[in-house]
Amino acid sequence: MKALLELKNVSKNHWDINEENSPHFLFAHITATLHQEDCIALLGKSGQGKSTLLRALALLDTIDNGDIYFNGISAKTTDTRAWRKNIAYVAQQSVMLPGTILENLKTVSKLHNSAFDEKFAQELMQNVGLANIDWGKQATDMSGGEKQRVALVRSLLLRPSILLLDEITASLDQQSKEKVEQLLLRCQKEEGMSYIWVTHDTEQAKKISESIWYMEDGKLAIDTRTEQFFENRNVNNWVTL
């Protein structure tokens, strides 16, 4: 399978870099490859820099060393908007723009000068369990779980090659969570989409990933197949999530 996204020696300095006894890096020397149709769960304890890494991959945050390549082309030489059309980030805390749900759904097509695909939007909203929500409602009036799903739909409307998902089911009930998981697995199998999905939910990681990237002590400490990761974890009990 083709290499889609390559991280080469990616490092991010720690904010307190000049303070005595503080670590130099938040993370350092991360080298990894995401191929087309890869589904990766990015795991690690709180504060390891998972969200910061995902934001960096979406060019929403900078890196201090190394480089990121999409289809062999460096992020340093790519237009940010073009990059984000291919690589979409869905945040841990979803942000709704002022205006209605419909206006929020349309933002992506406006930004990228493409037509709004209403039929596709309806299909996606149904798939995430929001078939009956009024699109005329103010987006900021939605519940946390509704906002998370609209934010996901907004990104899927872009038909990105890669989705970067940051704990996107954290405020969802079990049924909605399963709908989202099934939708993303379908996007991967049927559309060839890839994703990196940050989660603290072990059962979810087993369901939605084929590989695990595990961050610890500022490094990508483990990059392995999902079955292998959980087998080793059960045997040695050395990984905390």
Burial of 8 (0-12, 13-18, 19+ CB in 10 A): middle
Q: Does 47 bind ligand ATP (CB under 6 A)?
A: yes
Out of 6, 51, 128, 213, the only residue in the binding site for ligand ATP (CB under 6 A) is 51
Residue 136 has phi, psi (to 5 degrees) of -90, -5
Q: Which two tokens stand for residue 156?
A: 């899927």
Which of residues 52 and 86 has its CB atom nearest to ligand ATP in the complex? 52
Residues 37-56 interacting with Mg ion (rule: CB under 5 A): 51
Residues 113-152 interacting with ligand ATP (rule: CB under 6 A): none
Beta bridge partners of 215: 44, 220
Whether the CB-CB separation of 30 and 7 falls below 8 Å is answered with yes
Helix runs in the chain, H state only: 50-57, 80-86, 101-111, 118-127, 144-156, 174-191, 202-208, 226-236
Residue 130 region, left (φ>0) first, then alpha (ψ -120 to 50), else beta? alpha
Residue 222 has phi, psi (to 5 degrees) of -140, 135
Q: At what angle do helices 144-156 and 118-127 cross, to 10 degrees?
A: 140
Q: Does 12 bind ligand ATP (CB under 6 A)?
A: yes
177 binds, among Mg ion, ligand ATP, none (CB under 5 to 8 A by kind): none
Binding part of the chain for ligand ATP, among 8-16, 113-121, 134-142, 222-230 by CB under 6 A, reads: 8-16
230 vs 27: CA distance, rounded Å: 23
Residue of closest CB approach to Mg ion:
51
- Minimum CB separation from ligand ATP for residue 217, in Å? 12
- Cα 132 to chain centroid distance, Å, stands at 26
Residues 175-234 interacting with Mg ion (rule: CB under 5 A): none
Q: Does 46 bind ligand ATP (CB under 6 A)?
A: yes
Out of 4, 28, 41, 50, the only residue in the binding site for ligand ATP (CB under 6 A) is 50
Q: At what angle do helices 174-191 and 144-156 cross, to 10 degrees?
A: 10
Which of residues 127 and 155 has its CB atom nearest to Mg ion in the complex? 155
Binding part of the chain for ligand ATP, among 2-10, 49-57, 151-159, 184-192 by CB under 6 A, reads: 49-57
- Minimum CB separation from Mg ion for residue 89, in Å? 12
Q: Does 104 bind Mg ion (CB under 5 A)?
A: no
Q: Does 21 bind ligand ATP (CB under 6 A)?
A: no
- Minimum CB separation from ligand ATP for residue 198, in Å? 6
- Minimum CB separation from ligand ATP for residue 220, in Å? 12
Beta bridge partners of 19: none
Whether the CB-CB separation of 129 and 177 falls below 8 Å is answered with no
Residues that bind ligand ATP (CB under 6 A): 12-15, 26, 44, 46-52, 92
Residues that bind Mg ion (CB under 5 A): 51
